[in-house]
Amino acid sequence: MTDLSTLNTALDLLNKGQFKRALQLSKSGMRTAPKDARFANLAGMALSQSGKPREGAQYFARALKSDPASPAYQDNLVTALVQSGQHDKAQDLIIRLLKKWPGRGTLCYQLAMLELQRARPDQALDAANQAINAEAAARDANVPNATQALSRAYNLRGVVHDALGDEDAACADYQQALDLNPDNVEALSNIALPLARRLQPDAAIAALEKALSLMPMHLNALHRYGLQLNELGRSDEAIRAFESVLNLSPYHAETLRLRASLASAEEVSALKPRLEAAYAKVKSKSLEHASIGFGLAHLAEKSGDHPEVQRRYKTANAHAAALRPYDLPRQRQVEERIERLFAAGAPTIQAAPTPGPRLMFVIGQPRSGTTLTERILAGHPDVVGLGEQAAVGRLAHPFLAEEVAFDTQAAHAFAVAYRASLPRIEPAAPALVDKMPANYKYAGFILSAFPDAVVIHTARDPRDVAWSMWRTWFPGAPMNYVFDQTAMAAEANAYARYMRLWSERFPARIHTIAYEEIVSDIDAASHRLAKICDLDWSAEMAAPERNAAPIRTASVTQARAPVHDRSVGGWRVYEEALGPFIDALDPDLWPDLD
């Protein structure tokens, strides 16, 4: 006979985030009531929510064996299989269950999750739409809990839209999820990211704090809370949030890496054993293993152990490169398409100016000083920094697929669509800065669509850029080249070709400023940037470290420190480690390197 008090106590412990005690009590219940599937299900939930979905799956399978018709147990088992990377098992189970119950919303939801895990967002979108339709029909039929299930499905479709690069659709789905269920913790956690990108950091923090008030031990909410606090410069609070994550999940790879990046030199000796334990525990051929490897390399840098720094970064980058290969032929195809669109003999395209704030675009290689340049400009009272906006690359994509001709009409449409994509600034700002580094590839589109825009190119010694990228974990697939020095050099050579093309096709439209120039004399550089942008110089432009705006890039820590030139020439200490990159640089494209 089931002991209901034991069951209820285990559930209460689970809801309070006391996963270890909930697991112990659930196992005790399984021994006294082996046929009651609820205890096995609770054990699986305790393991999964504490970051052990593979172990949790075994208990969900046991629960489902006892009660094979339970949608909740089906849902939990498939989720655990997907989260633990057992994709084939998950797919087999979903297909088998869909044959029994066609169109069941929970199964369509799980199929969408699986396709998302497999990096197939188009298929995930189809499955998410099926889940929404199924759950909407269930709600209309007054099926219990259908509203909550529909909210969950909208949240998942938001995640899919985010993966497809459609932030507006993602945000709309997250909001729809919250309209249906204001206490949807996942939607509250997820909407924080687009809110932050839309320059609404207070709303992002509020969403996360509400999520944590509802579920204080929610790993995703805690982790994102730490990220948001760090972006706002509240590093001590961010560290506390990250430590809360690690108390729940000691091997949480991304949190360990971020915690290492925020560590003081005095904390290295205490943190290193924690990262080493996680490094030994997680799967060796995994992105989690590579991410923790970067964290260990960060700690080695803080302790000044140069040989270990080189060894750690070499190993971590090699692991990441094996799992995130760079499609160099595809990038070369894009470059060739752009070269044809903006060839020397092609007609000059120039759209009429579009109404709205003045636009400034900061372009350059990642880690070349684009964040610093944006923050100098945003120090002016009339200028708002937008951070890295993805709209230019997204709007350029159809033209790169050779499906659409880029002419004056298309350039005008490009400009209108770009302005419509920008965050709403209240009160309206006279000038905006978009500092997406990769827009160096798309400068021709920018210059054609916005004849009155200012384009600033930050240039930096490619070897310093390479060393900075080699030390940085970039989460997005477009940055996969940074993990392989040969690919990194190929991208650097391509960047140099792009900038040569734009200087020939749009003479005098791009203003180049060297990173070395900025950090050697911030006062003179800020005056020069003010003149380029036709701004009256403001003293705050020469003190970018005082800018309180959030920083959502890899420069989050450096940009809050006073400007210095200590990193100039820093590559020389690690010249041997950068050998493959340096050897692969094209001397015709980089003639001035000593």
| Digit-coded pLDDT (tens) for 414-454 | 999 999 999 888 888 999 999 999 999 999 999 999 999 99
d(CA 130, CA 147): 15
Tell me what pLDDT residue 555 has.
55
Which pLDDT score is estimated for 95?
Answer: 84
What residue type is 25 in one-letter code? L
- What is each CA distance from 227 to 212, 259, 265, in whole angstroms? 14, 11, 21
pLDDT at 178: 97
Tell me what percent of the residues of the chain surpass a pLDDT of 90. Answer: 65
Name the helix (H) or strand (E) containing 305.
none
Domain 328-345+358-584 grouped into CATH 3.40.50.300: yes
H or E segment at 360?
Answer: strand 358-363
Q: What is the pLDDT of residue 465?
A: 96
The pLDDT, as a whole number, for residue 164 is 85
**pTM, whole model, 2 decimals?**
0.82
Task: Identify the pLDDT of residue 235.
Answer: 92
Q: Give me the residue spans of the domains in the chain.
A: 328-345+358-584
- DSSP three-state, residue 97: helix
How high is the pLDDT of residue 457? 98
Q: Where do we find the tokens 């000593």?
A: 594
Orientation of helix 253-261 relative to helix 219-231, angle to 10°: 20
> Residue 541: helix, strand or coil by DSSP?
helix
Phi-psi region of 211 (alpha: psi -120 to 50; beta: other; left: phi over 0): alpha
What length is written for the chain? 594
Rg, C-alpha atoms of the chain: 26
- pLDDT given for residue 557 in this prediction: 62
Q: State which residues of the chain have pLDDT below 50.
A: none
* Identity of the amino acid at 367: R
State residue 550's pLDDT score.
Answer: 64
Instruction: Report residue 288 as tokens.
Output: 């989690």
Q: Which residues contact 60 (CB under 8 A, 6 or more apart)?
A: 40, 41, 44, 73, 76, 77, 80
| Structure tokens, 434 | 């978009």
Q: Give 92-144 pLDDT, tens digit per residue.
A: 888 888 888 777 888 889 889 888 888 888 999 999 999 999 999 999 999 89
Whole-number Å distance between alpha carbons of 84 and 339: 44
Report angle CA 73, 75, 81 to the nearest 5 degrees: 100
User: Letter for the amino acid at 148?
Assistant: Q
Angle, to 10 degrees, between the axis of helix 53-66 and the axis of helix 37-49?
170
Q: How far is CA 406 from the centre of its chain?
A: 30
**Which pLDDT belongs to residue 553?**
61
